[in-house]
Amino acid sequence: KEFRNNVKPNWCPGCGDFSVQAAIQRAAANVGLEPEQLAVISGIGCSGRISGYINAYGLHGIHGRALPIAQGVKLANRDLTVIASGGDGDGFAIGMGHTIHAIRRNINITYIVMDNQIYGLTKGQTSPRSAEGFKTKSTPEGSIESALSPLELALSSGATFVAQSFSSDLKQLTSLIEEGIKHEGFSLINVFSPCVTFNKVNTYDWFKENITNLDTVEGYDSSNRIHAMTKLMETGGLLTGLIYQNKDRKSYEDLVPGFRKEPLAAQNPAITAEEFEKLVAEFK
């Protein structure tokens, strides 16, 4: 079970994305997958490179479109474990429409967002996750927009698995990805993944000082959506751990009438060549 390949990541030394890569590789091995049973589909941004750094099927897609591609892969082959990944700009700006609808559709894939609260690949502009007042090259006087709260949005969109972690906590991150893979439905895992080159505010130290880890909160019930929403609001979203899981709702694939269990490629044709020709003739 070797999920490492020979490609050397060209992320900056210290970038949080290294840990996310390691956590995906460990989680895939821990749940017993073989490389040919995993597909990693990514969007555009520094984090989008991750699909090329993991020994599995992979596709480095286009900006904001990791989720439509990942959903297509899953629907074509239910036997594959599908992980979609990208940055906060990719998933919560240009890709936000896809994110919301993939959440409410509840297709059985895992979406890992590397949230560094800035656009790194384009050298440091405000992202949807940047805080109000955050100064960047695109907002030299400070951002005048409020930061998006993706997990609250996910909860109100019908999410069945919502988790958050931090690149520094490889153990927790790996364990959450394992749980996300095992979850029968859409799992969203947001990861605070510092951009050490362009974000000098939301640093490793800043997260360490400000994060509340749910593993240390007594009596928290991750099956209670009101608890989840309340705790997120209390902490300004700076909460890590399994925030919410609903194990009762069926996945999209299980709800589509007649959707077959075997991959498309393994199915016998639904109609014969002669029947197909006859059907085409009717429309001529």
Return residues touching ligand SF4 (CB under 6 A). 11-12, 15, 17, 46, 116, 120-121, 195-198
Smallest separation (angstroms) from ligand SF4 to the CB of 87: 8
Query: Quick one: 90 or 169, whose CB is closer to ligand SF4?
Result: 90
Query: Quick one: 100 or 195, whose CB is closer to ligand SF4?
Result: 195
Smallest separation (angstroms) from ligand SF4 to the CB of 192: 12
Query: Quick one: 15 or 155, whose CB is closer to ligand SF4?
Result: 15
Query: Quick one: 115 or 178, whose CB is closer to ligand SF4?
Result: 115
Smallest separation (angstroms) from ligand SF4 to the CB of 152: 24
Query: Quick one: 12 or 93, whose CB is closer to ligand SF4?
Result: 12
Smallest separation (angstroms) from ligand SF4 to the CB of 284: 54
* Secondary structure (DSSP) of the chain: ---B-SPPP-SPTT-THHHHHHHHHHHHHHTT--GGGEEEEE-SSGGGGGGGGBSSEEEE--TT-HHHHHHHHHHH-TTSEEEEEEEHHIIIIITHHHHHHHHHHT-S-EEEEEE-SSBTTTTSB--TTSPTT---SS-TT---SPPP-HHHHHHHTT-SEEEEEETT-HHHHHHHHHHHHHSSS-EEEEEE---TTT-SSS-HHHHHHH-EEGGG-TT--TT-HHHHHHHHHHTTT-EEEEEEE--SSPPHHHHSTT--SS-GGGSPPSS-HHHHHHHHHHT-
Smallest separation (angstroms) from ligand SF4 to the CB of 60: 15
